[in-house]
């Protein structure tokens, strides 16, 4: 008889069943990641990818280093975030694309329930006026610009623990090419022209114009000055004493001082049709309540246009 081998081998592996405690820890680990890592990550990603819409934005009461902003719009909540909750108030630091901080904007608490109302109604104080001036000039000449918004608000959704967010959002804005716009048909129309004889407060003519706003937001600019020239020689200047660019079409009063003899000579003896003159317009300055507004002035100075005017169309008002 063969002797039995006391040690027998097997190819089958022993299966170890996790204990209740081990299963509980694995379950809690998944929930811990979802609540404390997953939700803040989703919120950061959603906010940092959100495309801001500047339609309906209104800029008023400009000052040398501040202006007022107001806007109201509906925003949808997505990115895996659902339910009722709120995003806490926080200070949003706004910087240029190369990291130069130029403003800190205090955002109010935003409550949501699958959607939210974004309401802005407060001042934006500037810490680097030159930075905004450079961006305003770039926008006016059709260059695209980028701004970086950073902040650390808290997110509360339902009964879930509060999530601490890390917003690092780049906002891209396309330029409006004010010069090209001003030279396009229908950008502005002269409604009426009247000579002032004698002059009034240094002005020898006034006019009314209608002009379209090239941007989707409205801007209260104040007293804007443009220099006029013809054939490379100075012709005079025009003042828009209280310019506000509303959405769509706005009407504006224009006061001016021009060299009348130069204008008449060009109209009668110039190279164009009789009565027709071509006037070059170049932005010069912007003031509000007597104070220079450097960031608006930068955009104004970057703007220029050439307008052809048939003076015979306004002969009745010019020579009454």
Residues 97 and 219 in one domain: no
Average model confidence (pLDDT) across the chain: 81
Question: What local confidence, expressed as pLDDT, does residue 35 receive?
Answer: 47
Q: Indicate whether 198 and 282 sit together in one domain.
A: yes
| Close Cβ partners of 254 (under 8 Å, ≥ 6 residues apart) | 206, 207, 208, 209, 238, 239, 240
Q: What's the sign of the alpha-carbon dihedral 209, 214, 217, 221?
A: negative
Q: Kindly report, residue by residue over 281-300, the tens digit of the pLDDT.
A: 999 999 999 999 999 999 99
For residue 33, name the pLDDT band (cuts at 50, 70, 90): very low
Q: Considering only CA atoms, give the Rg of the chain.
A: 32
| Same domain, residue pair 184 and 96 | no
Q: How many domains does the chain have?
A: 2
Q: Which percentage of the chain shows pLDDT scores above 70? A: 75
The answer to the question of residue 5 being in a domain is no
Show which of 117, 140, 175 is a domain's final residue.
175
In a domain, 6, yes or no: no
Tokens of 152: 């650390």
Query: Of 112-121, 272-281, 292-301, 303-312, which one has max mean pLDDT?
Result: 292-301
Are 192 and 166 within one domain? no
Residue 15: predicted pLDDT: 64
CATH number, domain containing residue 166: 2.60.40
Q: Per the domain annotation, does 275 fall within a domain?
A: yes
Number of residues that this document lists for the chain: 320
- Residues 279, 143, single domain; the answer is no
Is 70 exceeded by the pLDDT of residue 23?
Answer: no
Q: Which of 143, 175, 207 is the last residue of a domain?
A: 175
Q: In whole angstroms, give the CA distance from residue 54 to residue 102.
A: 19
Instruction: Choose the final residue of a domain: 147, 175, 203.
Output: 175
Secondary structure of the chain as H, E, C letters:
CCCCCCCCCCCCCCCCCCCHHHHHHHHHHHHHHHHHHHHHHHHHHHHHHCCCCCCCCEEEEEECCEEEEEEEEEEECCCCCCCEEEECCEEEEEEECCCCEEEEEEECCEEEECEEEEEEEEEEEECCHHHHHHHHHHHHCCCCEEEEEEECCEEEECCCCCEECCEEEEEEECCCCHHHHHCCCCCEEEEEEEEEEEEECCEEEEEEEEEECCCCCEEEEEEEEEEEEECCEEEEEEEEEEEEECCCEEEEEEEEEECHHHHHHHHHHCCCCCCEEEEEEEEEEEEECCEECHHHHHHHHCCEEEEEEEHHHHHHHHCC
Residues 6+ apart with CB under 8 A from 157: 39, 81, 82, 83, 84, 85, 163
35: left (phi over 0), alpha (psi -120 to 50) or beta: alpha
Mean pLDDT on 206-220? 86
pLDDT digits (tens, 9 = 90+) for 224-268: 999 999 999 999 999 999 999 888 888 889 999 999 899 889 888
In a domain, 224, yes or no: yes
Please check whether residues 168 and 212 belong to one and the same domain: no
Domain membership flag for residue 9: no
Query: How confident is the model over 42-98, as pLDDT tens digits?
Result: 666 667 666 666 777 899 999 999 999 998 877 766 555 566 888 899 999 999 988
- pLDDT for the residue numbered 101: 96
102 pLDDT tier (thresholds 50, 70, 90): very high
Tell me, yes or no, whether 170 and 186 share the same domain.
no
158/82 Cα distance (integer angstroms): 9
Pairing of strands 218-230, 58-63: parallel
Are 50 and 152 part of one and the same domain?
Answer: yes
Q: Is 241:273 a contact under the CB 8 Å cutoff? A: no
Contacts 24+ apart (CB under 8 A), 209-212: 209/251, 209/252, 209/254, 210/249, 210/250, 210/251, 210/252, 211/187, 211/245, 211/249, 211/250, 211/252, 212/181, 212/186, 212/187, 212/188, 212/248, 212/249, 212/250
Average pLDDT over residues 267-290: 90
- Residue span of the structural domain in which 285 resides: 179-318
Residues 168 and 185 in one domain: no
Task: Evaluate if residue 273 carries a pLDDT over 60.
Answer: yes
Instruction: Kindly give, in sequence order, each residue whose CB lies less than 8 Å from that of residue 27, ignoring residues fewer than 6 positions away.
Output: none
CB 58 within 8 A of CB 71: yes
Mean pLDDT along residues 181-209: 83
């Amino acid at each position: 008889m063969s002797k039995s081998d006391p040690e027998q081998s097997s190819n089958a592996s022993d299966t170890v069943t996790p204990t209740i405690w081990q299963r509980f820890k694995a379950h809690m680990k998944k929930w811990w990641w979802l609540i404390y890592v997953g939700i803040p990550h989703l919120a950061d990603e959603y906010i940092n990818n959100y495309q801001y819409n500047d339609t309906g934005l209104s800029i008023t009461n400009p000052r040398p280093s501040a202006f007022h902003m107001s806007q109201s719009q509906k925003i949808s909540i997505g990115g895996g975030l659902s339910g009722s909750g709120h995003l806490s108030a926080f200070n949003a630091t706004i910087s240029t694309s190369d990291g130069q901080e130029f403003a800190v904007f205090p955002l109010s608490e935003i409550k949501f329930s699958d959607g939210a109302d974004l309401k802005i109604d407060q001042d934006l104080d500037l810490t680097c006026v030159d930075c905004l001036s450079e961006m305003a000039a770039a926008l006016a000449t059709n260059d695209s610009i980028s701004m970086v918004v950073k902040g650390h608000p808290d997110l509360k959704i339902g009964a879930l623990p509060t999530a601490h967010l890390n917003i690092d959002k780049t906002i891209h804005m396309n330029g409006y090419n004010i010069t090209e716009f001003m030279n396009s048909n229908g950008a502005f129309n002269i409604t009426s022209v009247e000579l002032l004889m004698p002059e009034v407060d240094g002005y020898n003519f006034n006019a009314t114009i209608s002009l379209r706003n090239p941007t989707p937001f409205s801007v209260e600019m104040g007293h804007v000055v443009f220099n006029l020239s013809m054939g490379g020689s100075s012709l005079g200047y025009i003042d828009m004493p209280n310019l506000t660019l509303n959405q769509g079409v706005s009407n504006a009063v224009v006061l001016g001082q021009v060299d009348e003899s130069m204008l008449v000579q060009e109209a009668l003896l110039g190279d164009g049709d009789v009565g027709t003159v071509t006037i070059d317009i170049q932005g010069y300055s912007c003031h509000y309540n007597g104070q220079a507004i450097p960031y608006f002035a930068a955009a104004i100075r970057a703007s220029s246009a050439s307008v052809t005017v048939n003076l015979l169309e306004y002969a009745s008002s010019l020579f009454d």
